[in-house]
Amino acid sequence: MAHFAKVLNGKVVNVIVAEQDFIDNFTDNSPGRWVQTSYNTHGGVHYDPSTGEPSADQTKALRKNFAYIGGNYDVTRDAFYNLQPFPSWTLNETTCYWECPVAHPSDFDGYNYNWNEETQTWDAVESE
């Protein structure tokens, strides 16, 4: 079984699990097209589901990331990626992950951090 995303105007509108034969023979009169996606592909790397480690066979890495309903599909990049979380964040062309302009703090000593778009900083929030 494989995962397929229904894409309409660059947006993922549905994700299903199906055999390739089903997709090849399925009569779908709704607009859009079905594009295969890989549940185990993240940032352009395919991970072995049994170990969580990168797979020896990277030909299984499909379209940078797993497709999510409401997410984007860029036909030029042939990649799925999420919506831009903040205007200041840029898309990493290699991973198709959004990256903030300031590195996330590495100390988690009792704090979580939220991005503050106005000040372009990470604001500490006490953990409960």
In this structure, what DSSP letter does residue 54 have?
B
Summarised one tens digit per residue, pLDDT across range 55-107 is 999 999 999 999 999 999 999 999 999 999 999 999 999 999 999 999 988 87
What's the pTM value of the predicted model, to 2 decimals? 0.88
Q: What residues have CB less than 8 Å from 95, skipping those under 6 apart?
A: 43, 44, 64, 65
What pLDDT shows up at residue 25?
93
Lookup: tokens for 52:
């969580």
Counts of helices then strands in the chain (DSSP H, E): 1, 11
What pLDDT shows up at residue 128?
64
Summarised one tens digit per residue, pLDDT across range 33-47 is 999 999 999 999 999
